[in-house]
A and B are shown apart, each in its own frame.
Chain A
Amino acid sequence: MTDLTLKIEDLKLGFKSWSGVNPVLHGISLHIRKGERVALVGESGSGKSVTARIVLGMLQELSASRISGNVLFEGEDVNAMRAKRHRALRGTRVSMIFQDPTSSLNPVYTIGRQFFEVLCRADPAISEKDARQKAASALDDVAIHEPERVLDSYAFQLSGGMNQRVMIAMALVNNPALLLADEPGTALDVTVQAQTLKLMSGLVEKHETAVLFISHNLGVVREFADRVYVIYKGNIVEQGPTDALFADPRHPYTKALLSAVPRISGGGIPDIAEDMDGFHDPLIAHEGYSERELLK
């Protein structure tokens, strides 16, 4: 299949320590097609973020990591790449946005300067003037009304929501094939988060960027994703289209996760033990949404 942006097959990850190898991922499989928005949902420590790091080739460089399985990015095996190739892909074909936008921007450079460096990644010969123009139009795309002023500002002079939009603009300015969004906007308040997600959603549609959306926020996932993978302790436990999964959660862990969402109508958060019966049940895929069926 040519329109497969990312395909992960039976990915296992462990970290070597004094007492042996600590397994982190137990063989997960997922894929994202061009322009598709896929969410990876799970609790803290379930292995969401390390998956993103593997896609970026950042864990392969660690001598303590033990990785097996296939990670294919546009048909190219990420695990087999050299570090130099990883770096060449980052920022140009794959980009990432983070939880806390303000700390993701270097405090000593202006936004414009940082844009320039990002653009240089894709086109080393770009002139400062062209870069500025491109940056301004990218900021315009994320509904920033005074791009010129923002370009001359430092990150601490802008609000968190503005920085988030700047980050999104920066992540998409080189037209990457894949955007990894690691709990974007968790550090922001809910209304701003909703607003920026809407923007991001529109932009990735326009650019036909595939998105791996990593989150523990089910409300956000429901708004944003086309398909959902639920990950628990290094295993994918349920997968399916967003609507079906939210309407009819089948895996005990997904059920527990959904019932743990605080509701405006009240009612306390139910007691969920860290490790309840059935949490380790095998993967449940909704009809027509197993990896085999989707990859046909």
Chain B
Amino acid sequence: MKKAFVILTRNPMSLAGLILVGTVIILAVFADFIAPFPEHRGAVVDFVNFNKPPNARNWFGTDLVGRDLFSRIIYAYRISLMLGVVVLAIAVPVGVSLGLMAGYMGRKTEFIVMRITDIFLSIPPLVLAMSVMGLLKPTLTNGMIAVTVMWWPWYTRLIYNITRSERQEGYVLAAEVLGASKLHIMFREILPNCVPSILTKMTLDFGFVILIASSLSFLGLGVQPPTPDLGSMVAEGARYLPDSWWLTVFPGLAILVVVFGFNLIGDALREILGVDE
């Protein structure tokens, strides 16, 4: 693990990714201290400074009710990162366990789990998330549920495929011959051998989860105002293009930075850990 981190800092691309992601995480964690106008994350109105282009007081300009965009973007990062963590924290264990079960036990379990997975995968992800959001109220929690529902099948399929090939390996047979239980073989023998793939996919996915969540709120189905969210900020600003360009460009760049950063790290991890997809 430590070695992987050292290698990550050697490669210029992954170093760039680490710096981007690290900056975003620091901004989000210490938002209360970094943001110049912490109170602007809520419903604050400041008509004196409304719709100002970037200047020395408001680095990224202000929005239509005079709130500092830089502060709002920092707080939006906080929500985006939390969303990513929560979604992956639910989707990965669920998806991985189901994938292990389907891959190792085979037969009926395999059939049932994989066909359900197929059903989920056959629905376009955004449509699935939108329909979940349509059924439930558009809140942050429901947004997380929606993204989680569309995310777990990818892990099931990934782990299912790895398990299927690992099952043929000698060490699995050796463990069976030693009388190890199915649970032991799935979680103690096979799972550790899937970790590189899971880690790589999680890093890559982190960016995509943020992207999808932003897409949802861009469509008005995610986080509701006045809570700052990158997607809804872009959506609001899009109406005032091209005159008030800062309203869309900065939140858009903010999305780009975090997704790009996670992708760079993910790609580097894939190379380091020797995972091929």
Contact = CB atoms under 8 A, between A and B. Distances in A.
- Report the contact-size class of chain A (Cβ under 8 Å from the partner): 20 to 34
B192 A108 contact: yes
Given A98-B170, A98-B174, A100-B170, A106 B179 contact: no
A109 B177 contact: no
Given A92-B179, A103-B170, 18 more contacts: A86-B179, A87-B179, A88-B179, A91-B178, A91-B179, A95-B177, A96-B177, A98-B173, A98-B174, A102-B170, A103-B169, A103-B171, A104-B173, A105-B170, A106-B175, A107-B193, A121-B179, A167-B174
Interface in A49-76: 56, 58, 63
Interface string A148-171: 000000000000000000010000
Interface string A76-118: 0000000000111111100110111011111111000000011
A121 B184 CA distance: 12
A92 B181 CA distance: 14
A contact patch SS: loop
Contacts of A105: 170-171, 174
Which of B174, B175, B192, B195 is packed against the most chain A CB atoms within 10 Å?
A: B174
B189 interface: yes
A167 B170 CA distance: 12
Contact of A89 (B169, B179, B181): B179
A91 B189 CA distance: 16
B176 interface: yes
- Report the contact-size class of chain B (Cβ under 8 Å from the partner): 10 to 19
Contacts of B174: 96, 98, 104-105, 167
Nearest to B176: A58
A90 B179 contact: yes
Contacts of B176: 58, 90
A104 B170 contact: yes
Interface string B168-203: 011101111111110000000100110100000000
Which of A58, A95, A104 is packed against the most chain B CB atoms within 10 Å?
A: A104
12 contacts: A58-B176, A88-B179, A91-B177, A92-B179, A98-B170, A98-B174, A102-B170, A103-B171, A108-B195, A117-B178, A118-B178, A121-B178
Contacts of A86: 179
Interface in A96-150: 96, 98-100, 102-109, 117-118, 121
A102 B170 CA distance: 8
Nearest to B194: A108
A99 B173 CA distance: 12
B193 A108 contact: yes
Interface string B88-118: 0000000000000000000100000000000
A3 B171 CA distance: 32
A107 B175 CA distance: 13
A107 B177 CA distance: 17
A106 B177 contact: no
A262 B266 CA distance: 53
Which of B170, B177, B181, B192 is packed against the most chain A CB atoms within 10 Å?
A: B177
